[in-house]
Amino acid sequence: MEKDVLKQMNVGDIVAKDFSTARVFKKYGIDFCCHGDNSLVDACDKQNISLDKVIADLQNSDVKTGVNIPFESWPLDLLIDYVLKIHHRGIRKNGPVLKELLEKVRGVHGANHPELFEIYDLVSESLVDLDAHLTKEEEVLFPYLYDLFKSYDSNMFIEPMHCGTIANPIRVMRMEHEAEGERYLHIREITNNFTAPEDGCATYRLMMSELENFVDALFEHIHIENNIIFPGFEKVESECVR
């Protein structure tokens, strides 16, 4: 993307158009998921980093490495399918495995690395909160969004959601996303960007790797919902709800 175009964009929109740019924002500690509505200029100012340097890296990310999934071009109902089958399942499957690893590493290395106790507590609290969050999406918000998409796709009107508008549950989901984002950004800080210490064993290094993978997946989840699914359905609602 051109420099002048990037300067005019929000960070969430940049990632929505090219998910490979998420790697750049991760490198600089820029929150593209929970605060995706921040402009690139403001995000760089907040982190006290060079706008030109970040833009140069964003433009270098145009040289693709690996698979770049064009989420922004997907139908909204397919995005919900992806979130449910990849992210919801992934959190419920990988979260307990991560917690078990954390417990094992804490037991062996906790005396020399007391931050492991805080990390374990934070992840444990997160898994409880995330389970409640996912359940609300699965049982309350997403069923209506599927119906909303079906009506929109068929050029039909639909009755409003029982709570008046989807903006109400979306507001709650965004607040919960922000809480999780802040929690894991703190974990990233106290783990020195998921770096195992010099005296860390193979299990310690594995735990850090799994923790980083869990956070990356969670941030992709939040990004897809906050920056693509939610604004997309708010537009749909404005066009087909009586």
Strands (E), 103-154: none
22: tokens are 């998420």
The DSSP letter of residue 227 is: I
- Sites in the chain below the pLDDT cut of 70: 61-67
In this structure, are residues 189 and 84 in contact, taking their beta carbons and an 8 Å threshold? no
Look at residue 93 in the predicted model and tell me its pLDDT: 96
What whole-number distance in Å separates Cα of residue 16 and Cα of residue 10?
10
Task: Please write the tens of the pLDDT for every residue from 14-54.
Answer: 888 887 788 888 888 888 887 888 899 999 998 899 998 89
Look at residue 61 in the predicted model and tell me its pLDDT: 60
What whole-number distance in Å separates Cα of residue 136 and Cα of residue 142?
9
Where are the domains positioned within the chain?
Answer: 3-60, 74-240
- Alpha helix segments (H runs only) across 61-114: 76-82, 89-109
β-bridge partners, 10: 39
Helix%, strand%, coil% for the chain, nearest 5? 75, 0, 25
pTM: 0.84
What whole-number distance in Å separates Cα of residue 183 and Cα of residue 23?
19
